């Protein structure tokens, strides 16, 4: 048996199929890995390396790289950056877990609504959220670390709830019930049965949230009020304002090192935990909460209510003017702002731009992300080192400053045919860079949890590798794939950093338009900016609903 | 709209996701995704093929690189095309600082032919790096050249002036019977304690201009003391203009702020005119710092001839008449009438402070650092 297992665990190796099939499978796997890695190399690694290289070679006056890397100020920047990111990640995890439980396990009314509501914060432009939190913390004039951590947590509860909830909905309930029957307390059953099986999703979510928080820009800028700075804000300052590319390069390297270290740690923790799980239909794992579970549901409801505070504030703000309640902001969306702030582009046109760009980005992110997930789920048996490196590499775009990538495009993309620097395609490409890691982190845990014996059984029965994938893997991860598509779309919709840098003036996305409107005087511009935020949330809600619909109607769950 | 349907369907067939996934496996999930995709594509959701077609054809084209505050009326740009037969394409990203640094990075292979929006704070850097080539606008002597940067008169043409001044909420002072401040010195007086909100010069362009105003007034040796006194008098600092003006300023757009003095622009009061026709705010004209924005032909431009026409166009009476309303700045050309609201509420400051561009370049980083230590230390 053991021998058989070892043989069969290498797809194709021990089958009655011709050797050509196995080679084909190997080739397909290589292709699946090469495509996302190639994209990453051209649209991420090359530009970043180029701009960092220019910085390191620069002979401008100013402190040397070494002096910068060893200065106490730099290290306090690193400390604050990591510290606030860790705190915000912990917060997002603590707040997201009850919500994930509610979404995955509880047959309670309004569950769909909760799924919808927690996604809304994710698309809001950071400047606007920063300003919303600023009014909530009006007392602290001098910038507030608490506000920064809360705002970063606010953005990311959705990541935790969705990533963890996705796996949780499909983990078998029976082991837990058995533990309870054997006398374990609810808490004991949770910590020794549920939590270990969820660990891959939890560490995945934590890694993503950590990266988002450590590169958070708008929030830190607005809420830090010139007092609190992070590596990200400092890189922006040096690149954009001072053109101190050497300083920016040194800090970028530091940022990269910190991110790689954190990711490697996370990946290690994850690997130790990843095992095949008995995945079930979501419908089988849901039931009415019992006893103490109601407490968790209440907690989740509390989290959702708190998340709604800034959102309701924004909506109220979009409706209230100095002269009382009014819809002028919404009517203004038909035009291009007071004094034509958006240069002939109406708010609605910006919304259409957003939808189209996000659509392209999603297609691309899904193609790359699913291919990468398939490769990552199969590679460890063939070349574990490579798989680990690839896993970390795919996440990097989340951990590197948008400004670095944007300026990198300027100095590299003219080498591509047709001077790609000014191509309208750069926007969806950059958005796909951000969305792909989320697709991987949503799909991969489920893919890895698929019991390999099912694949082996199918192979033994004569199915080729593609057939195995189609009949075993795909039905199981179908739901995760759709969830990932919805999430990727939402991420692309809300992406601000790279988009604001790359979007053409005649084709701003909605978040970019909000940024422009809010930085101009004029009551109407302000009103329109908040109305545009409300529109953005409405669009997000529509997308999430559409995906949920498609899920129920089309996908036969396992 | 002007989308090419045939183009789009071709692209649709070639889109990565569909074919790659389609070949490996087309399970129900993917079919569902494909359904959504088709519906979305049918609704015109893809960007591909949307505007790409407009670049095609043999029409002459000149590319203007600028920052994202540039938003002239569309008709004006079309007017340029009608008069010259050249299509004017605008590429914008980031603020004035980002623009300058992009131009420096791409100077050997610029992303356009002509640039607008390098301001007096950054001009020195652009000139030293050889970003621009010599060109004098035909009508440069009708006013613009009086603002031209030292040593750059042959390469940069001033297009507009956007002074940064303290703004006050006139109603606030009237209600309380407190006299409005007039000078920078006044702000350190006890009756103005806790009333001022200013922006961080490291992250905000008006914040930097205001810091430069204090350097111009108190000198390199005295400005830090002035900021120490401001700090002692309850100065509030924000990262950006948005928070300061919209949230903290008592007469700002939010209308809920607590502070009646803010660092903003000379033009801001024109946008606070109420139904009674009176502005709610006023710029203190003795506290202003002059910021000038320039245009110039890029050193390695592919289309130099048409790039020159764009510079001429930017200082033409037609364009200059629109800069106030569409960009919130004052025309550089002489004899251009300001909009009525501006004449009433936001006249051009006449005694604005200024520092030579090379002094700004040499001192800026040091001053900002000193500012941080003084105000945030």
Q: What is the pLDDT along chain A (558 residues), one digit of tens a residue?
A: 333 333 334 444 444 455 676 777 778 888 888 999 999 999 999 999 999 999 888 877 667 888 888 888 889 889 999 999 999 999 999 999 999 999 888 888 888 888 889 888 887 888 888 888 887 776 555 668 898 999 999 999 988 998 888 788 878 888 888 998 999 988 898 888 888 888 888 988 898 899 999 988 888 888 887 788 899 888 988 888 877 888 899 999 999 998 888 888 877 777 766 666 777 777 777 888 888 888 899 999 999 999 999 899 889 888 887 778 888 889 888 888 877 778 778 889 999 999 999 999 999 999 999 999 989 888 777 778 888 889 889 999 988 988 899 889 988 988 888 788 888 888 999 999 999 998 998 888 778 878 788 888 988 998 888 888 888 877 777 777 888 898 899 889 988 888 888 887 778 899 888 888 888 877 888 889 999 999 999 998 888 888 777 654 433 333
Q: At what angle do helices A293-319 and A126-136 cross, to 10 degrees?
A: 100
Where do the DSSP E strands lie in chain B? 61-66, 87-92, 114-119, 132-133, 157-161, 164-169, 196-199, 236-238, 261-265, 281-283, 292-298, 330-331
> What angle (nearest 5°) sits at the alpha carbon of residue A63, between those of residues A401 and B208?
65
Residue of chain B nearest A556, judged by CA positions: B28
- Closest partner residue to A226 (CB to CB) among B97, B203, B255 is B203
3-state helix vs strand vs coil in chain B, percent to 5: 45, 15, 40
Whether residues B97 and A240 touch (CB distance < 8 A) is answered with yes
How many domains, in total, are found in chain B? Answer: 3
- In a domain, residue B214? The reply is yes
- In a domain, residue B29? The reply is yes
Whether residues A547 and B109 touch (CB distance < 8 A) is answered with no
SS3 of residue A390 by DSSP: helix
Q: List CB contacts (< 8 A) between A363 and chain B.
A: 15-18, 37, 46
The rounded distance, in Å, linking the Cα atoms of A211 and A555 is 32
Alpha helices in A399-509 (DSSP H): 402-412, 426-449, 452-460, 465-468, 474-494, 497-502
Count of residues in chain B: 377
Domain of B23, in residue numbers: 5-52
> What angle (nearest 5°) sits at the alpha carbon of residue B168, between those of residues B163 and B170?
135
Whether residues B30 and A341 touch (CB distance < 8 A) is answered with no
Predicted confidence at residue B31, as pLDDT, reads 52
The rounded distance, in Å, linking the Cα atoms of A481 and A525 is 39
Whether residues A226 and B200 touch (CB distance < 8 A) is answered with yes
SS3 of residue B148 by DSSP: coil
Whole-number mean pLDDT of chain B? 83
Residues B38 and B177 both lie in one domain: no
Distance to chain A for B217, nearest Cα, Å: 24
Q: Note which residues in 131-150 of chain A have CB less than 8 A from chain B.
A: 131, 134-135, 141-142
Count of residues in chain A: 558
Where do the DSSP E strands lie in A5-164? none
- In this structure, what CATH number is given to the domain that contains residue A480? 1.10.3720.10
How many domains, in total, are found in chain A? Answer: 1
Task: Report yes or no: A503 at the B interface, CB cutoff 8 Å.
Answer: yes
Nearest-CA neighbor of B196 among B172, B218, B177, B217? B172
Predicted confidence at residue A126, as pLDDT, reads 82
DSSP letter at A396 equals G
Q: Which residue in this structure is represented by tokens 């009333």?
A: B195
- In a domain, residue A311? The reply is no
Nearest-CA neighbor of A146 among A230, A87, A205? A87
Residue B51 has pLDDT above 60, yes or no: no
- Closest partner residue to A131 (CB to CB) among B21, B125, B247 is B247
- Please state, for a pLDDT cut of 70, what percent of chain B lies above it: 84
Distance to chain B for A534, nearest Cα, Å: 17
- In a domain, residue A313? The reply is no
* Pair of tokens at residue A336: 């291009």
**DSSP run (H or E) holding A128:** helix A126-136
Q: List CB contacts (< 8 A) between A469 and chain B.
A: 24-25
Q: How far is CA B81 from the centre of its chain?
A: 24
Whether residues B238 and A226 touch (CB distance < 8 A) is answered with yes
Residue of chain B nearest A519, judged by CA positions: B242
The rounded distance, in Å, linking the Cα atoms of B184 and B226 is 9
Distance to chain A for B36, nearest Cα, Å: 8
* Pair of tokens at residue B130: 């050889």
Residues B268 and B302 both lie in one domain: no
Nearest-CA neighbor of A88 among A228, A211, A200? A211
Residues B263 and B126 both lie in one domain: no
Could you tell me whether strands B132-133 and B61-66 are parallel, antiparallel, or unpaired per DSSP bridges? unpaired
Residues B361 and B329 both lie in one domain: no
Beta bridge partners of A106: A287
DSSP letter at B145 equals G
User: Hey, CA dihedral for A177, A183, A189, A192, is it positive or negative?
Assistant: negative
- In a domain, residue B347? The reply is no
pLDDT digits (tens, 9 = 90+) for B110-169: 989 999 999 888 888 899 999 999 998 888 778 788 888 878 888 999 999 989 999 999
Exposure string (b/e) for A166-201, b if CB count within 10 Å is 16 or more? bbbbbbebebbeebeeeebebeebbeebbeebbbbb
SS3 of residue B169 by DSSP: strand
- In a domain, residue A489? The reply is yes
The residue of A62, A313, A343 whose CB has the most chain B CBs within 10 angstroms, and thus the best one to mutate to test that interface, is: A343
The rounded distance, in Å, linking the Cα atoms of B184 and B190 is 13
Residue of chain A nearest B20, judged by CA positions: A367
Could you tell me whether strands B164-169 and B114-119 are parallel, antiparallel, or unpaired per DSSP bridges? unpaired
Residues B328 and B305 both lie in one domain: yes
- In a domain, residue B296? The reply is yes
> What angle (nearest 5°) sits at the alpha carbon of residue B55, between those of residues B52 and B56?
100
3-state helix vs strand vs coil in chain A, percent to 5: 80, 0, 20
- In a domain, residue B206? The reply is yes
Task: Report yes or no: A353 at the B interface, CB cutoff 8 Å.
Answer: yes
- In a domain, residue A308? The reply is no
- In a domain, residue A1? The reply is no
Q: Which residue in this structure is represented by tokens 């300061």?
A: B244
Answer yes or no: are the C-beta atoms of A513 and A341 closer than 8 Å: no
The rounded distance, in Å, linking the Cα atoms of A521 and B329 is 12
Q: A with B: how many residue pairs have Cβ under 8 Å apart?
A: 230
Q: What are phi and psi of A514, to 5 degrees?
A: -60, -45
The rounded distance, in Å, linking the Cα atoms of A10 and A5 is 9
Whether residues B237 and A226 touch (CB distance < 8 A) is answered with yes
Distance to chain A for B64, nearest Cα, Å: 11
Q: How far is CA B40 from the centre of its chain?
A: 36
Residue of chain A nearest B197, judged by CA positions: A141
- In this structure, what CATH number is given to the domain that contains residue B307? 3.40.190.10
Could you tell me whether strands B292-298 and B236-238 are parallel, antiparallel, or unpaired per DSSP bridges? unpaired
Distance to chain B for A1, nearest Cα, Å: 31
Residues B295 and B369 both lie in one domain: no
* Pair of tokens at residue B352: 């604005």
Q: Note which residues in 13-72 of chain A have CB less than 8 A from chain B.
A: 28, 35, 54, 62
- In a domain, residue A530? The reply is yes
Task: Report yes or no: A191 at the B interface, CB cutoff 8 Å.
Answer: no
pLDDT-based confidence at residue B10 (cuts at 50, 70, 90): very low
Predicted confidence at residue B35, as pLDDT, reads 53
ipTM of the complex as predicted: 0.79
- In a domain, residue B107? The reply is yes
User: Hey, CA dihedral for A369, A374, A379, A381, is it positive or negative?
Assistant: positive
Residues B370 and B224 both lie in one domain: yes
Nearest-CA neighbor of A199 among A445, A479, A452? A445
- In a domain, residue B89? The reply is yes
Domain of A190, in residue numbers: 26-57+72-288+328-553
Exposure string (b/e) for B363-372, b if CB count within 10 Å is 16 or more? ebbebbebbb
* Pair of tokens at residue B252: 């700002």
Predicted confidence at residue A362, as pLDDT, reads 94
Residues B87 and B205 both lie in one domain: no
Answer yes or no: are the C-beta atoms of B357 and B120 closer than 8 Å: yes
Q: List CB contacts (< 8 A) between A341 and chain B.
A: 71
Q: Note which residues in 393-452 of chain A have CB less than 8 A from chain B.
A: 406-407, 410-411, 414, 419, 421-422, 424-425, 427-428
Please give the C-alpha separations between residue A297 and each of A15, A96, A108, B68, in angstroms, as whole numbers.
Answer: 49, 12, 9, 46
Residues B113 and B100 both lie in one domain: yes
Nearest-CA neighbor of A412 among A56, A39, A45, A37? A45
The rounded distance, in Å, linking the Cα atoms of A517 and A325 is 20
Predicted confidence at residue A135, as pLDDT, reads 78
Residues B284 and B296 both lie in one domain: no
Residues B215 and B360 both lie in one domain: yes
Q: List CB contacts (< 8 A) between A482 and chain B.
A: 29, 32-33
**DSSP run (H or E) holding B212:** helix B205-218
Task: Report yes or no: A110 at the B interface, CB cutoff 8 Å.
Answer: no
- In a domain, residue A312? The reply is no
SS3 of residue A110 by DSSP: coil
- In a domain, residue A118? The reply is yes
Residues B245 and B362 both lie in one domain: yes
């Amino acid at each position: 048996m053991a021998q058989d297992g070892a043989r069969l665990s290498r797809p194709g190796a021990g089958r009655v199929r011709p050797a050509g099939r196995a080679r084909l499978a190997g080739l397909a796997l290589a292709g699946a890995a090469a495509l996302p890695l190639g994209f990453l190399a051209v649209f991420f690694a090359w530009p970043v390396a180029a701009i960092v290289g220019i910085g390191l070679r620069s002979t401008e006056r100013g402190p040397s790289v070494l002096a910068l890397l060893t200065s106490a100020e730099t290290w306090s920047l690193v400390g604050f950056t990591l510290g606030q990111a860790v705190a915000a990640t912990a917060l997002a995890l603590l707040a997201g877990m009850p919500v994930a439980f509610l979404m995955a396990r509880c047959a309670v009314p309004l569950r769909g609504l909760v799924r919808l509501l927690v996604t809304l914060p994710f698309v809001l432009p950071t400047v606007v959220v920063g300003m919303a939190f600023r009014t909530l913390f009006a007392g602290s004039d001098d910038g507030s670390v608490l506000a920064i951590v809360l705002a970063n947590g606010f953005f990311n509860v959705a990541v935790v709830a969705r990533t963890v909830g996705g796996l949780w909905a499909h983990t078998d309930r029976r082991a837990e019930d058995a533990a309870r029957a054997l006398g374990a307390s609810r808490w004991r059953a949770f910590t020794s049965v549920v939590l270990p099986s969820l660990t891959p999703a939890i560490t995945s979510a934590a890694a993503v949230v950590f990266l988002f928080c450590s590169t958070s820009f708008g929030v830190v800028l607005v809420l830090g009020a010139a007092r609190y700075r992070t590596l990200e804000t400092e890189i922006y300052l040096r690149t954009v304002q001072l053109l101190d590319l050497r300083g920016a390069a040194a800090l970028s390297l530091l940022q990269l090192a910190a991110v790689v270290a954190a990711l490697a740690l996370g990946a290690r923790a994850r690997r130790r935990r990843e095992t095949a799980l008995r995945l079930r239909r979501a419908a089988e794992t849901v039931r009415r909460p019992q006893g103490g579970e109601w407490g968790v549901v209440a907690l989740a409801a509390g989290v959702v209510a708190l998340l709604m505070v800034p959102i309701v504030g924004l909506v109220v703000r979009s409706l209230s003017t100095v002269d009382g309640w009014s819809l002028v902001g919404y009517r203004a969306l038909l035009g291009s702002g007071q004094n034509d702030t958006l240069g002939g582009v109406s708010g609605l046109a910006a919304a259409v731009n957003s939808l189209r760009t996000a659509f392209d980005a999603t297609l691309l992110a899904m193609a790359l992300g699913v291919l990468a997930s398939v490769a990552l789920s199969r590679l460890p048996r063939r070349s574990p080192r490579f798989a680990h490196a690839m896993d970390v590499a795919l996440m990097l775009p989340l951990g590197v400053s948008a400004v670095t990538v944007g300026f990198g495009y300027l100095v590299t993309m003219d080498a591509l045919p047709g001077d790609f620097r000014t191509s309208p395609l750069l926007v969806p490409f950059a958005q796909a860079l951000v969305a792909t890691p989320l697709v991987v982190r949503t799909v991969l845990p489920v893919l890895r949890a698929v019991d390999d014996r099912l694949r082996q059984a199918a192979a033994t029965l004569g199915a080729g590798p593609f057939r195995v994938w189609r009949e075993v893997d795909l039905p199981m991860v179908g739901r995760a794939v759709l969830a990932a598509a919805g999430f990727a779309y939402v991420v692309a919709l809300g992406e601000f950093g790279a988009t604001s840098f790359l979007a053409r003036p005649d084709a701003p996305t909605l978040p970019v338009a909000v940024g422009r409107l809010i930085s101009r005087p004029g009551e109407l511009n302000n009103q329109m900016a908040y109305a545009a935020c409300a529109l953005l949330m409405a669009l997000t809600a529509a997308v999430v609903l559409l995906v949920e619909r498609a899920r129920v109607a089309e996908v036969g769950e396992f | 709209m002007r989308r090419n349907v045939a183009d789009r369907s071709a692209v649709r067939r070639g889109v990565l996701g569909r074919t790659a996934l389609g070949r490996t496996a087309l399970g129900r999930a993917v079919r569902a995704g494909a359904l959504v995709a088709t519906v979305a594509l049918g609704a015109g959701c893809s960007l591909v093929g949307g505007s790409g077609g407009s670049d095609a054809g043999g029409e002459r084209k000149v590319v203007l690189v600028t920052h994202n505050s540039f938003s002239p009326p569309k008709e004006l740009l079309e007017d340029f095309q009608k008069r010259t037969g050249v299509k004017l394409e605008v590429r914008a990203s980031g603020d004035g600082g980002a623009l300058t640094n992009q131009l420096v990075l791409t100077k050997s292979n610029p992303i356009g032919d002509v640039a607008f929006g390098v301001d007096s704070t950054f001009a020195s850097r652009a000139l030293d790096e050889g970003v621009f080539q010599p060109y004098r606008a035909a009508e440069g002597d009708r006013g613009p050249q009086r603002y031209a940067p030292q040593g750059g008169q042959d390469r940069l043409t001033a297009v507009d002036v956007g002074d940064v001044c303290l703004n006050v909420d006139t109603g606030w002072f009237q209600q309380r019977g407190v006299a409005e401040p007039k000078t920078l010195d006044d702000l350190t007086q006890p009756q103005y304690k806790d009333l001022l909100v200013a922006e961080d010069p490291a992250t905000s362009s008006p914040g930097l201009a205001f810091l430069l105003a204090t350097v111009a007034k108190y000198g390199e040796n005295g400005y830090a003391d002035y900021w120490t006194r401001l700090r002692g008098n309850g100065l509030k600092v924000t990262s950006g203009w948005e928070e300061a003006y919209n949230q903290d300023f008592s007469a700002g757009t939010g209308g809920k702020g607590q502070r009646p003095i803010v660092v903003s622009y000379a033009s801001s009061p024109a946008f606070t005119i109420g139904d009674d026709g009176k502005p709610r705010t006023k710029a203190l004209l003795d506290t202003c710092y002059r910021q000038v924005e320039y245009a110039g032909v890029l050193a390695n431009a592919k289309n130099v001839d048409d790039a020159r026409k764009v510079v001429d166009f930017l200082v033409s009476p037609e364009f200059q008449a629109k800069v106030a309303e569409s960009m919130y700045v004052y025309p550089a050309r002489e004899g251009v009438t300001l909009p009525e609201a501006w004449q009433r509420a936001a006249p051009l400051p006449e005694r604005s402070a200024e520092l030579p561009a090379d002094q700004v370049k040499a001192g800026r980083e040091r001053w900002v650092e000193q500012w941080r230590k003084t105000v945030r230390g």
